[in-house]
Structure 1
Amino acid sequence: MTMKELHALFLEHPKICTDTRKITENCMFFALKGPNFNGNAFAQEALDKGAAYAIIDEKEFKTSDRFVVCEDVLGTLQKLATYHRNYSKAKIVSLTGSNGKTTTKELINAVITKKYKTIATQGNLNNHIGVPLTLLSIKEDTEIAIVEMGANHQKEIEFLCSIAQPDFGYITNFGKAHLEGFGGVEGVIKGKSEMYDHLMANDNYVFFNADDDIQKEKLTNYTKKMGFSTKNPNYYNIKFLGVDPFVSLEAEGTQIQTQLVGKYNFPNCCAAILMGKYFNVPMDDIKSAIEAYQPQNNRSQLLSKNGFDIVLDAYNANPTSMKAALENFSLMNAQRKIVILGDMFELGSTAAEEHQAIADVANELGFDDAYLVGENFHGTHTKLKKFKSFDDLKAYLSKNPLEKGALLIKGSRGMALERVLDLL
């Protein structure tokens, strides 16, 4: 079957499923493989549950003409996504970065959807499977698709760009994330910059933070660009007004009061405003979109429970975001401040050094109480309370309950520190 024929089939059944537990009527099931599963073995089950077709790459599983045999299911999914991307009339806005990708993506979508029909990456489906699935969710009336791209090693962003072929792109920042896979901070800069490299090589448009010296220098001789700045009059100016606890800012004399905790969310808002301006979204609509946006999924959420004012930022963590969260929390107005920090993953040989640095920052900021959780934090030299596991923390707090106050909870996804809420 040619890609054109497969795409025609997809247009008749424009819903993709890769998990037999989530089969919907008349979808197309792509039998992906993983280290511990073979999707081909579940293809018949997908059809029995209502899938219209099953795309497989092991012909012995074919028992009817509702099976489409290809050379490689994942490669076929990716090629189909590129074909559909080029078939559609939608413009693709791509974004990557070490921190703030998902929040920025959602802010951009909130702003642009005020004027255009948009689709955007769901959750953080931003890898070699998630990006194709996002592209395949582009509908006939979609005008702009906002595609988030994640990476933990070199050439990954380059590959995702080759699938999505973006018309526009933005990098949130270069931070200490996935240092193990990228090979240090320089590797992070090189890897994330693959997005700008791709856009410039194809004469496409770049949005950037003109206060970020790395981004500015990379784009020095490139003309198809638009940047924001808090200080340089040569770029679109946005003023930071404050954070107590929510970010407030001003653009073109219009004040915007967000529902986002932390100064680190200021550039995320700026990126959404910048793109709104480029796509001619009225400033009143930009303002209302950003002011209405509320973070979800453990990302800088402000909660109240049993006398605690909680900043829940337990979706992910790396040294850059952890330091920013601690510094921001230290500036909040509260009589009593407590922090519970969980291990940061994927730091490779720098793990001990980076965890020690964060323990030192937490100690220097002088919080009323601080708890470090995880094997890496347990190995630090500090006077702060340390626990090898969450269960150890739980056992301690059952006998020594937290005193009420403002509470910051932050750690990598694998630490699942949102479980602290059950201990309050």
Structure 2
Amino acid sequence: MLLFFVYKITTFVLSNRVIMQIEKLYEIYKQFPSIFTDTRNIKESSIFFALKGANFNGNTFASQALESGARYVVVDEEEFVKGEQYILVEDVLKSLQELALYHRKQLTIPVVGITGTNGKTTSKELVYSVLSQQFRTYATQGNLNNHIGVPLTLLSIDSTYEVAIIEMGANHVGEIEFLANIACPTLGFITNVGKAHLEGFGSFEGVKKTKGELYDYLSQRGGTLFLQADNPHLVEMAAQREFSKIVKYGFTSTNDIVGKLLMANPYLSIAWKEGRKSETYEVYTQLTGSYNTENILAAIAVGLELGMTPSSINEGIANYIPKNNRSQITKTSRNTVVADFYNANASSMAAALDNMQVLTAEHKVVILGDMFELGDEAFEEHKNVILKAKALHFERLIFVGKEFCKHQDEEAEFYKTTEEAATAISSLHDSFILLKASRGMAFERLLEVL
């Protein structure tokens, strides 16, 4: 359920009933700036925020957090307050978010906000790799990009950092607005917009509205927008707003940063230059997928905007190694696998198939798993993926999951479960294989048998 931010000063109460304002809690945080929400990760002299979930109540773990080394615990049920180390608040989650916003307002560093349907995390990691060449940079860890993760990210940024990168994810209208009002980005970009999380967004227009909330924030606050100006959806969205500064990147000569894909077989190499300048720079990457070219260009644009040299930018891009099964090439003892199953939706499936089609390999095998959270469009979108994949004529084509199996025929292999597919592919060898699916399909099981 979406929680909307309330702009007010929260009142906190210690167990001895002393009233404490947000400024006072912030003073405690400055003394003990390590924040945890899971007692399994508690470190000495930290603060534990007792969050609640559908199946747990963090308040019940407060005493355990103190035993594990926490200096204070923040709770919102008075019955759990047992001493001076307990801070009672009206709502623990809201308090975490308000503390993060208060801390963010003390920071004077550039903050890069990133959202989009596909490529958010890869773009974040590329920008981080670039900026780290020159600045002490903090970036969202893992996928901490929601209403809990963004506050935790902000509260991890201390005064020694020179720039921050905040990834923002959403599956409902209003969430990017909510997160932007906590992260307060000074620069930012949307990677792209596509059909994902349609159950929450309702439609593709809902996706554009939600991702566009980052544009709204940057427009209203005088922030700098990085725009993929060859993407008609993003151009249309940007044209509906006014910005203090727009830096355009893409593949046509009218952009401020112009890129060209040189090779993608399987690793990318690109050439790029600054607008009308004649000097061109080439960079060889450890990324696969031609669709990542624009993510690289976005990282270049951010680096240039913050005053970096082309050589430093290229070094950051060349040093980036993908991980967590995002466009990650893995060579097993028998096969070469493009592991791209951290997430999937209609547009990322199409991009992965197009990339697979142009790669040079003798035996190409494509294994696709169900795409989640597509709502009423799930049936049609899975059908479209099947039709596209068949048209590209791979040596072996395998579909896994209940949604794909609704379209089962004799022209490809269909398996209802990942376990069934694992048995069917266990003898594959000397093949170049694409694994693409939503995270819930657990395709790491397939990687294990390849």
Please give the TM-score of this superposition, normalised by the length of structure 1.
0.97
Matches within 5 A, 1:293-304: 293-304=320-331
CA contact (8 A) 1:247 1:257 kept: yes
Output the amino acid matched with 1:40: N
Match of residue 265 from structure 1: 292
Q: What secondary structure, in the 3-state scheme, does the structure 2 residue paired with 1:307 have?
A: coil
Q: C-alpha offsets along residues 236-289 of structure 1, whole Å, 9 cap, x if unaligned?
A: 222222211111111231101111101110011000000011001111111111
Residue of structure 2 aligned with 1:58, choices 73, 77, 84:
77
The equivalent of 2:37 in structure 1 is: 18
SS at match of 2:397: strand
Residue 388 of structure 1 pairs with residue 397 of structure 2:
no
Return 5+ residue gaps in structure 2 as ranges: 1-19, 274-279
Which residue number corresponds to residue 160 of structure 2? 141
8 Å contact from structure 1 (residues 94, 166) kept in 2: yes
Contact 2:223 2:244 in 1 (8 A): no
Matched, 1:308 2:331: no
Superposition deviation, residue 344 in structure 1: 0.4
Contact 1:299 1:315 in 2 (8 A): yes
Aligned to 1:344: 371
Structure 2 residue aligned with 1:256, among 283, 293, 305?
A: 283
Give the letter for the 2:378 counterpart. A
Q: Does 1:419 align with 2:438?
A: no
The question of whether the paired residues in 2 share the 8 Å contact of 1:89 and 1:142 is answered with no
1:227 equivalent among 239, 248, 253: 248
Say yes or no: does 1:172 pair with 2:200.
no
How far apart are 1:223 and its partner, in Å?
Answer: 4.1
1:68-79 to structure 2, matched below 5 A, reads 68-79=87-98
SS at match of 2:29: helix
Kindly indicate whether residue 399 of structure 2 is the aligned counterpart of residue 405 of structure 1.
Answer: no
1:197 aligns to 2:225 (yes or no): no
Q: Give the aligned partner of residue 100 of structure 2.
A: 81
2:346 to 291, 302, 319: 319
Report the counterpart of residue 7 of structure 2 in structure 1: none
Query: What secondary structure sits across from 1:110 in the alignment?
Result: helix
Give the number of aligned pairs. 422
Equivalent in the alignment of 1:31: 50
* Aligned-residue offset at 1:222: 3.1
Q: Residues 114 and 285 of structure 1 are in contact (CA less than 8 Å); yes or no, is this contact kept in structure 2?
A: yes
Which residue of 1 is the match for residue 13 of structure 2? none
CA distance, structure 2, for counterparts of residue 204 and residue 141 of structure 1: 23
In the alignment, is the contact (CA less than 8 A) between 1:338 and 1:367 conserved in 2? Answer: yes
Q: Which of 231, 237, 248 pairs up with 2:258? A: 237
TM-superposed CA distance for 1:218, in Å, is 2.8
Q: Which amino acid aligns with 1:391?
A: E
Structure 1 residues 44-67: Cα deviation after superposition (integer angstroms, max 9, x where no partner): 000011000000001110010000
Output one character per residue of 1:281-332: Cα deviation in whole Å (capped at 9) or x when no partner: 1111111110110100111111111231111101110010011101100111
Residue type at the aligned position of 1:251: W
Is residue 304–residue 310 contact of structure 1 (8 Å, CA) maintained in 2? yes
Which residue is 1:215 aligned to? 234
Give the letter aligned to residue 378 of structure 1. Answer: C
Aligned equivalent of 1:376: 403
Residue deviations 1:122-145 (CA, integer Å, cap 9, x gap): 011000000000100111111111
Structure 1 segments, 4+ long, off by >6 Å, are none
Structure 1 regions of 5+ residues with no counterpart?
Answer: none
Moved more, 23-32 or 243-252: 243-252
Cα pair 2:286 2:318 within 8 Å, conserved: yes
Q: Aligned equivalents of 1:2 and 1:14: distance in 2?
A: 17
1:316 partner letter: N
CA distance, structure 2, for counterparts of residue 178 and residue 124 of structure 1 = 16
SS state at 1:256 partner: strand
Shift of 1:419: 1.0
Q: Equivalents in 2 of 1:365, 1:263: separation in Å?
A: 17
Residue identity in the other structure for 1:212: N
Query: RMSD of aligned C-alpha atoms?
Result: 1.2
TM-score calculated relative to the size of structure 2: 0.92
Residues 356/226 of structure 1: CA separation in 2 closer, same or farther (3 Å cut): same
| Pairwise CA distance, 1:233 | 2.2
Q: Deviations over 1:76-122 (max 9, x none)?
A: 00000000011122221101000000000010011112111210000
Match of 1:280 among 295, 307, 329: 307
Counterpart amino acid of residue 386 in structure 2: A
Residue type matched to 1:273 in 2?
Answer: I
Q: CA deviation at 1:216?
A: 1.9
